[in-house]
Amino acid sequence: MTSNMMPETVADSAVAGVWSADAPEVYHELTPRGLALRRFRRNRLAVFGAVVITTMAVLSLLAPLIAPYDPLRPDVRAFGKPPSLAHLFGTDGAGRDVLTRLLYGGRVSLSVGLVAVTIYVTIGTILGVIAGFFRGKVDALIMRVTDLFLSFPTLIMIIAIVPIVGPSIVNIMLIIGLLGWPPVARLVRGQVLSLRERDFVLASRGLGASPARIIAREIMPNVSGPLLVIASFGVADAIITEAGLSLLGLGIRPPEASWGQMLTISTELAVVAAKPWMWIAPASCIALAVLSINFIGDGLRDALDPRGATTGRR
């Protein structure tokens, strides 16, 4: 390669966005966000998970437009029919189309995960930032409350509270959200305690920046990475929790559909043995959604790892 070709090669690499040994400086000129996105796209399992969960979400949102049948209306002529051209995934014990109920059930199961995680990540982040940044008595008080919540098994508390407030999708979202924040608070507090002593934070404080500005401009951008990872895994946990509550009879009430509720009505031995399509479909959706979200979480963790970001290719 001649010397006069080097600038063109480097420029071409920069435009194409492809790392090469001939232009290592191009790789390191990427912003942290661009570098993390590139590393995520190189993780095939993470990309697969993102495609799968996005497809599930889109199909669930479009359920009223693409679902072939009414998800609540029984059909006495189609009780427990196996998969066919008329019913691709068969029908359940009430003659309702399984595919249709899967599409509508995805709206419930996925929304429970997203809303519940949003609630407890917000609560945990606020408390963790306050405790880690201001320290002192405020930190001690918040951490003692956090320890109190952590001393009780979350699932046991959910099972105890749901019968009191009533099993509905809103109540399940709120209960999971209001009980899931302690691990997030501890994680954020640890991150903030480390960040508040960094030079860039001390410099902002020395220039007279207010605590709110320091938190918003200096602290939160550096905490967002770990938060994104823990939130992704939390969505999978919330989906499993909703399915478990449904199996215990504490989830969505029939005839409303969720993947966990569909699995619950298929647990009778006669159904499990003679009509496997009734439980295979919702169980597969739960497993595929949780697996895909875990792939996304692993990909985010690797992409946001600063040690990997400073070493080039892995």
Asked if residue 314 has pLDDT above 60, the reply is no
- Rounded-to-integer distance, Cα 7 and Cα 15, Å: 12
Taking a C-beta distance cutoff of 8 angstroms, is the pair 180, 117 a contact?
A: yes
Look up the CATH number of domain 53-68+106-309. Answer: 1.10.3720.10
How confident is the model at residue 269, as a pLDDT? 67
Query: Is residue 20 over pLDDT 60?
Result: no
pLDDT tens digit sequence for 202-249: 888 888 888 888 888 888 888 888 888 888 888 989 888 888 888 888
Percent of the chain having pLDDT more than 70? 86
**Is residue 310 over pLDDT 60?**
no
Least confident of 12-21, 124-133, 166-175, 178-187: 12-21
Task: Tell me the domain boundaries of the chain.
Answer: 53-68+106-309
Name the band, by pLDDT with cuts 50, 70 and 90, for residue 313.
Answer: very low
Which CB contacts under 8 angstroms, 24+ apart, belong to 21-30?
24/312, 27/312
Distance CA 19, CA 291 (A): 30
The secondary structure of 242-271 as a DSSP string is HHHHHHTT-SPPTTS--HHHHHHTT-SHHH
Q: Looking up tokens 């405790």, which residue turns up?
A: 131
Please report the pLDDT score of residue 247 as a whole number.
Answer: 81
What's the pLDDT tens digit per position in 251-264? 787 778 888 888 88
| 276, pLDDT greater than 80 | yes
Q: What are residue 97's phi and psi, to 5 degrees? A: -70, 125
Q: Residue 114, SS3?
A: helix
What is the structure's pLDDT at 141?
93
Percent pLDDT > 90 in the chain is: 25
Q: Report the chain's mean pLDDT, rounded to a whole number.
A: 81
Hey, what amino acid is at 168?
A: S
Burial of 29 per CB tally in 10 Å (0-12, 13-18, 19+): exposed
